[in-house]
Amino acid sequence: MSSHSKQSDFQILPRHIAIIMDGNGRWAKKKFLPRLAGHKAGIQSVQQTVKRCIEMKIEVLTLFAFSSENWKRPEEEVSHLMHLFITALKNEANKLHEQNIQLRVIGDRSRFDEKLTQQIEVVENLTANNTGLKLLLATNYGGQWDITQAVQRIACDIEKGVISSEAVTAEQIQKYLSFADLPDPDLFIRTSGEQRISNFILWQLAYTELYFTDVLWPDFNADELDKAFAFFAKRERRFGFTSEQITQVK
Ligand code: IPE
Ligand code: IPE
Ligand code: MG
């Protein structure tokens, strides 16, 4: 499969792809470079992935950029990552807008400094009405944080009498989570050979197809994404039904 594959080459494409971009540090180490060089190189993979998603008319792409646990890393790495994030947002803002991309940052913003918060708002406002790819950057995001903030807001609404405790159903909980207005991820990708969720999206991954590759994030590109598309197209998503029921519907 090559980067020349067309949308019609794949029978079924995911609407929403969620990626754990992992392996930047190991990529740098292999090249005897500092970890930051790996993070920088990873930006190119982001650009290629976004481009491919636009070509394939994917609706939503969620990228895990910084987890709520990544604050535990050495201070120098954390501040480099924050700097990289703010510079990328500045440099890419106009390009994102020209490509009709709607950018959203999901996660807990309370720990970001003012400059970063402002830059996020600038890009979100600039691209808010765009109708193309929805690009979600999960930054200081954790699946447990997402569920916790939902439960807190639900409790608040119960206290205020906006909803009753009997109304707390799975559908209702979903409405309080991040990206509640978008479809759940259909395809999850993790690079670098690790096979874990690392507190990325939890609730909404309930029926997501999981794809793991040994490729390190800075080496990930359109061809690698096509491999994940091919994997996805071969899956039979049953959502609890039997295989026979699914084929009947088809
Ligand atoms: C992923 O690469 C990027 C972030 C977590 C920000 P890593 O930095 O985790 O790379 P490895 O896992 O150490 O190789
Ligand atoms: C997950 O990767 C977070 C991001 C890619 C942003 P980590 O490298 O932090 O995950 P663990 O610590 O290996 O599980
Ligand atoms: Mg890692």
* pLDDT tens digits, 4-62: 577 767 779 999 999 999 999 999 999 999 999 999 999 999 999 999 999 999 999 99
Alpha-carbon 32 to chain mean position: 29
Q: What single-letter DSSP state applies at residue 41? A: H
CB-based neighbours (< 5 A) of ligand 3, an ion = 22
**How far is the C-alpha of 36 from the C-alpha of 190, rounded, in Å?**
20
**How far is the C-alpha of 177 from the C-alpha of 138, rounded, in Å?**
13
Residue 247 has a pLDDT of 87
Whether residue 30 contacts residue 203, with contact meaning beta carbons closer than 8 Å, is answered with no
3-state secondary structure 92-115: HHHHHHHCCCEEEEECCHHHCCHH
Residue 249 has a pLDDT of 63
CA distances 152 to 98, 141, 246, Å, are 37, 16, 38
In the reported structure, the alpha carbon of residue 133 is separated from the centroid of ligand 2 by a whole-number distance in angstroms of 25
Residue 1 has a pLDDT of 45
Q: Report phi then psi at 75, rounded to 5.
A: -50, -40
Residue found under tokens 């479809």: 183
Q: Which residues of the chain have pLDDT under 70?
A: 1-4, 8, 249-250
In the reported structure, the alpha carbon of residue 244 is separated from the centroid of ligand 3 by a whole-number distance in angstroms of 40
Whether residue 106 contacts residue 136, with contact meaning beta carbons closer than 8 Å, is answered with yes
Residue 11 has a pLDDT of 78
Q: Which domains does the chain have, with CATH numbers?
A: 13-142+184-249 (3.40.1180.10)
In the reported structure, the alpha carbon of residue 217 is separated from the centroid of ligand 1 by a whole-number distance in angstroms of 9
Q: Indicate the pTM of the whole model.
A: 0.96
Which residues partner with 141 through β-bridges?
Answer: 67
**How far is the C-alpha of 30 from the C-alpha of 189, rounded, in Å?**
22
Query: Is residue 153 left, alpha or beta, with left meaning phi > 0 and alpha meaning psi from -120 to 50?
Result: alpha
Helices (H) and strands (E) in the chain, counts: 8, 6
* Surface-to-core class of residue 164, CB atoms within 10 Å of its CB (0-12 exposed, 13-18 middle, 19+ buried): exposed
Residue whose CA lies nearest to ligand 2 atom number 9: 70
**How far is the C-alpha of 113 from the C-alpha of 147, rounded, in Å?**
24
**Pocket of ligand 2, candidates 198, 205, 216: which has the most ligand atoms within 8 Å of its Cβ, to mutate?**
198
Residue 10 has a pLDDT of 73
Helix (H) or strand (E) holding 154: helix 143-159
